[in-house]
Amino acid sequence: MPKRRDILAIVLIVLPWTLLITVWHQSAIAPLLAIRKACHHLVKEIFIIPERLAVHHHRLSDEGAEGRREAGGQDSKEYCASDKDIVEVVRTEYVYTRPPPWSDVLPTIHIITPTYSRPVQKAELTRIANTFLHVPNLHWILIEDSQRRTPLVTSLLRETGLNYTHLNVETPKNFKIRGDTRDPRIPRGTMQRNLALRWLRETFKNNSQPGIVYFADDDNSYSLELFEEMRSTRKVSVWPVAFVGGLRYESPKVNAAGKVYGWKAVFDPHRPFAIDMAGFAINLKLILSKPQAYFKLRGVKGGYQESSLLRELVTLNDLEPKAANCTKILVWHTRTEKPVLVNEGKKGFTDPNMEI
Amino acid sequence: MFIIFYYTYIEIGKHLYFSALGTNHRCFQGDSLWGQHCDCAEHDLPKDRAISRLQEELYRLQEKKQPPKSSLSTIFVITPTYARLVQKAELTRLSQTFLHVPQLHWILVEDSPRKTPLVSNFLMKSGLTYTHLNVPTAKERKLQEGDPSWLKPRGVEQRNEGLRWLREDRKTEPGDNGQQGVVYFADDDNTYSLQLFEEMRSTQRVSVWPVGLVGGMKFESPVVEGGKVVRFHTGWRPSRPFPMDMAGFAVSLRLVLANPDACFDGEAPMGFLESSLLKGLVTADELEPKADNCTKVLVWHTRTEKPKMKREEALQVQGLGSDPAVEV
């Protein structure tokens, strides 16, 4: 009897060790084999070092897009047929210009930014990209208000080195500007944000990776602290925003128990959610669990756009106040002046080929 | 029986291994958790790990190859700033750009009789190498409420103070190393691409490049022929000695130190501020064109709108204004 027990004990001790050794060997050998077999062009891309020492890592489009193609097939007009991949560019020349290494632990922050062509577009996108390059585990979803994805934005995104997705959808022209009163206008950026929400729902249908969704306009100013505050969002988190509603800042009202009970705003404080687009973040799980929740396109009064989405997702009680119980300003609703271009004249004085 | 147990262990181990990989995986497709079919082809995962391992190797090698910090010449950025609503927002996003630039020394000069706590605290938390100065603009030179922005030159005393501090500071740093550097005048509301700073690092005397959205045009630029600046493309008063914006040139530190009296002239007529400094330093044909022979725009003269405060003002009249303790 004792002999059998000893043998059992020895076997139970030895088994895990053999297991470890097997796994270790697998991890060491298999990747090399796989690389040699399957990804010739990937290896080529990693080891070609051009003058600027940039390393490009492209997701193989045929592999990754399988699931996405079924999803995107219905509306191929809205998604571009090719180049839906997430392209990651790793720069090795300037240590400072690459985004921080991807972490296994941090939830991804998906930033949804609608953008449109105007003279300051490249400048705005450049400086907001400089901000995002500091944030770990950031995925930038940039949606152009255009018929086709423009080369300006395409090359800008590629050069930043950020983890991004580039989409586009054009707001119908008669809705872009205030037309006749029978057709109420679609608030700017709505169709683009909705497209991003739909993209997220299609892409993360069967994926339980943790994520946070934030709507960031391209002309606001963000502190880096804000992104770390929003990472712990369980449902919807909120915080103050400066320079909105004609005030120094608008803010949620938080009681002693740390719950939001109202809104410190002058412009219609009785809105269900009297908050700016930049003042809240949503957990990706919540977005996925409520697939019907979108921003309302038509018939939305000014200032009610945020409410049109949030009321389908949470109640006031579920809101999580951040930024030290909503006492600190971590985001400013800055707006950039429209540049005065009087000296361009009717024919355009400057070289139209120069991209600004 | 033991063989059965052995293989069970192996399978359990495999699942654990691949699920651990799954979170590291940058694929937004499949799910490799327990019992669920992974959409990604399984060979993709070890490949991805190999790729990230190779990337890490490259980072490590690159970091070894990276020139030691002291051999990169320092860029001294002189920024005048003044208190207004958007000041903190502007400085925040400017600092986020500067944090990406190695060997950058920010000289922030406040238009104020005293250093304000807002700027002091901000600089302390910024993570940048900085010098915090202040000098108030004389009352008669200051823009009043309602004055158009072009009426009086702005930031003159502050930039001159920055130059003065720099000259003083460099006296304490003897030897050739202390003379290496580039001086750039960056306003707090412009937009700078990271490439710009690398372009200016090699300045020998004064380097120049195009500036976007300035002078009433999409961009202003020096015109380069045969590697030399022959004239300037601008829509406004092209007869100026140097018809450029403050953001369109950088001066080598050596030149600044060699000409201790060169500074901005606040009395200069509108648009001649840049020329007032440069004419004492270089001639037009000595200018070094950057940004691909001045064909790319790497800096934009953006301006930020003044936020509308009607409701705030109305509330303050009633004594119900927002909490002034909340710093904006």
Name every chain A residue with its beta carbon within 8 A of the beta carbon of B14.
23, 26
More confident residue, A187 or B150: A187
**Under an 8 A CB cutoff, do B93 and A127 touch?**
yes
Alpha carbon distance, N-terminus to C-terminus of chain B? 71
CATH of domain A108-332: 3.90.550.10
pLDDT in tens, A47-80: 322 333 333 333 333 333 333 333 333 333 333 3
Longest Cα–Cα distance in chain A: 102
- Interchain contact B103–A (C-beta under 8 A): no
Closest CA of chain B from A93, distance in Å: 7
CA B156 – CA A152 distance, rounded (Å): 36
**Under an 8 A CB cutoff, do B90 and A96 touch?**
no
**Residue B49 assigned to a binding site:** no
- Interchain contact B26–A (C-beta under 8 A): yes
Q: State which residue of chain B sits closest to A48, comparing Cα positions.
A: B58
Instruction: Provide the pLDDT for residue B169.
Output: 92
- Interchain contact B210–A (C-beta under 8 A): yes
Q: Among A96-110, A143-157, A203-217, B24-38, which stretch is predicted with the lowest mean pLDDT?
A: B24-38
Among candidates B291, B99, B129, B105, which has minimal Cα distance to A130? B99
The full set of domain ranges for chain A reads: 108-332
Across the beta sheet with B249-252, the strand order is B129-134, B104-110, B74-81, B181-185, B249-252, B206-208, B288-289
pLDDT, chain A, mean: 78
Residues of B identified as active-site: 274
**Under an 8 A CB cutoff, do A11 and B218 touch?**
no
**Under an 8 A CB cutoff, do B303 and A339 touch?**
yes
Q: Nearest Cβ partner of A341 from B99, B217, B312? A: B217
Name every chain B residue with its beta carbon within 8 A of the beta carbon of A39.
47
Q: State which residue of chain B sits closest to A339, comparing Cα positions.
A: B213
Instruction: Provide the pLDDT for residue B51.
Output: 65
Instruction: Provide the pLDDT for residue A158.
Output: 94
Binding-site residue numbers of A for UDP-alpha-D-glucuronate are 114-116, 145, 188, 193, 217-219, 333-335
The tokens for B92 are 């925040």
pLDDT in tens, A18-33: 777 766 655 554 444 4
**Residue B205 assigned to a binding site:** no
The full set of domain ranges for chain B reads: 74-300
Q: Nearest Cβ partner of A38 from B9, B47, B296? A: B47
pLDDT in tens, B22-50: 444 333 333 333 334 444 444 455 666 66
- Interchain contact B307–A (C-beta under 8 A): yes
**Residue B154 assigned to a binding site:** yes
**Under an 8 A CB cutoff, do B218 and A38 touch?**
no
φ and ψ at A295, to 5 degrees? -70, 135
Name every chain A residue with its beta carbon within 8 A of the beta carbon of B223.
none
Instruction: Provide the pLDDT for residue A78.
Output: 32
Residues in chain A: 356
pLDDT in tens, A127-136: 999 999 999 9
Closest CA of chain B from A296, distance in Å: 27
pLDDT in tens, A189-208: 999 999 999 999 999 998 88
Report DSSP state, residue A205.
T
Q: Is the ipTM of this complex over 0.95?
A: no
What is the mean predicted confidence (pLDDT) over A34-59?
33
Exposure on the CB side of residue A309, measured as CA atoms within 13 A? 24
CA A199 – CA A205 distance, rounded (Å): 10
**Under an 8 A CB cutoff, do B302 and A19 touch?**
no
The enclosing H or E element of A285 equals helix A284-289
The enclosing H or E element of A114 equals strand A108-115
3-state secondary structure of A91: strand
- Interchain contact B300–A (C-beta under 8 A): yes
Closest CA of chain A from B259, distance in Å: 33
> Torsion over CA of B193, B198, B204 and B207, rounded to 10 degrees?
-20
Among candidates A230, A245, A325, which has minimal Cα distance to A280? A230
Task: Give per-10-residue mean pLDDT for chain B (328 aa).
Answer: 62 54 39 40 56 63 51 93 94 96 95 95 94 91 73 88 94 79 96 95 96 90 93 88 95 94 91 93 94 94 88 82 80
- Interchain contact B8–A (C-beta under 8 A): no
Name every chain A residue with its beta carbon within 8 A of the beta carbon of B233.
350
CA B55 – CA B245 distance, rounded (Å): 41
Size of interface A-B (CB pairs under 8 A): 255
Give one word for B65, left, alpha or beta, with left for phi > 0 and alpha for psi -120 to 50: alpha
Q: Which residues pair with B79 in a beta bridge?
A: B108
**Under an 8 A CB cutoff, do B17 and A27 touch?**
yes
Exposure on the CB side of residue B192, measured as CA atoms within 13 A? 29
Closest CA of chain B from A337, distance in Å: 5
Instruction: Provide the pLDDT for residue A68.
Output: 32
- Model confidence, pTM: 0.74
Among candidates A124, A136, A145, A143, which has minimal Cα distance to A221? A124
Q: Are A57 and B55 in contact (CB under 8 A)?
A: yes
Instruction: Provide the pLDDT for residue A95.
Output: 40
Amino acid letter, B218: K
CA B276 – CA B288 distance, rounded (Å): 19
- Whole-number percent of chain A with pLDDT over 90: 54
Instruction: Provide the pLDDT for residue A197.
Output: 97
**Under an 8 A CB cutoff, do A39 and B47 touch?**
yes
Name every chain B residue with its beta carbon within 8 A of the beta carbon of A347.
none
Residue A221 has pLDDT above 90, yes or no: yes
CA A33 – CA B45 distance, rounded (Å): 12
Number of C-beta neighbours around residue A101 at 10 A: 12
Name every chain A residue with its beta carbon within 8 A of the beta carbon of B221.
354
Number of C-beta neighbours around residue A95 at 10 A: 13
Axis-axis angle for helices B44-65, B2-24 (nearest 10): 50
Residue A308 has pLDDT above 60, yes or no: yes
More confident residue, A10 or A138: A138
Place of tokens 């008063």: B237
pLDDT in tens, A225-242: 999 999 999 999 999 999
> Which listed CATH number (3.30.70.360, 3.40.190.10, 3.90.550.10, 3.20.20.70) goes with B74-300?
3.90.550.10
Q: Which of A343, A353, A355 to mutate to test the interface with B (most CBs of B within 10 A)?
A: A343
